[in-house]
Structure 1
Amino acid sequence: MSAQPPRRPSLAERRKAETRLDIARTAARLFAEHGTADVTAEQIAAEAGIGLRTFYRYSRTKEEAVEPLLATGAQRWLEVVASGPHRLPMLPELEQAIRAALTFDGAPEDLETTRGLIRAMDDDPALRTIWHRINMESERDLYRVLADLVGPTADLLQLRLIAAAAAGAIRIAVEQWASGSGPTSGTGSPVDLALHALRILAADALPINSE
């Protein structure tokens, strides 16, 4: 069975998603600037222009508020892969998906905010848990998309390896980039590092090719 196109969200759903993303950007910026210990949910709500009660309708904790920003790339990644041909994606198609996943709507502002947020994770276990959960969910969802595209003849072990490698390439690239002072585009950017990581895996370890 082929992957079904996603349902177009309603206007109310889009507005809710925009509000969540605005809260996420605000929380991420404050965490990056001040560290999580010195930022409160009240401060995030005030900076985002909403009440505290509204904040807690969108997020259970201050740390979880950043999840929509971190998950945006994974959502784009899945959309690009799912819209491709109904077969195992080749390396150029996975590369295209990586470019889409790491092209932030607010770049370079969102990328720089994400850099500071990932650095803040060193001192905050709750943030690290959210980051790793998002990456695990991205890997799992990519595996499901690939299995749906390929169908019942799929080699499930192969698909799991591809999903793990592709998701891992993005995570490692973003973490590597965030640990330094690399640019947001061009050589040394998250896209450049993720493509390099995927090509290493495709050449040496995984059944991915461009034929």
Structure 2
Amino acid sequence: MPTPTSIAQLAASAHELAGLTFADLAQQLQQPVPADFSRHKGWGGMLIELALGASAGSKPEPDFPHLGVELKTLPISATGQPLETTFVCVAPMTDASQQTWQNSALRKKLAHVLWVPVLAEKALSPAQRQIGSPFLWRPSQAQEQALQQDWQELTDLLALGQVQQISAHLGEYLQLRPKAANGKIRTQAIGEHGQTVMAQPKGFYLRTCFTSWILRQQFAPN
């Protein structure tokens, strides 16, 4: 699909997806539908990217760089609750001390997001998953402050060489977790004495409590 040239055009295209199953959308785009997600974990997100003309791919910039808008699919339950954490971006493993919240990749990614909720109960096959009502979102002042606080605490640990002390339990709304194709992959990081060490690559993920906050803000503002 062509890349949208305005936010209004992107919003209109996203609105047209509401109510479609992945089977419906795949048929429109002439794409095969996997029987399950065992080898196709990101298939649904890539299908929506294709439908909306996202262009950034895996680059450290928003999916629609010319619009400054990131695209995020959000698997939800039948009651509208997020079913999993949301990956945002990779963490700075060797230059964390040079990072500030203002210039961070995470802040840039979350400055303006097109959220696409997807009904994704485990009993549903990829074909049966259904797209909800997409919406554009910018973080409120309270949400940005909450993210900044978690980001700063986690990034400080990376900068101070405490990579081995980081666990998914840290952070109220944001967490750092391994982000690699498998657990054997290692990358350079900073050790506690400033030396270079090898560690699992890590990524920033939004906890479900934060995406629940976003959904309440959008669909139950009162």
TM bracket, shorter-chain basis: under 0.3
- TM-score by length of structure 2 reads 0.26
Normalized per residue, which structure has more helix?
1
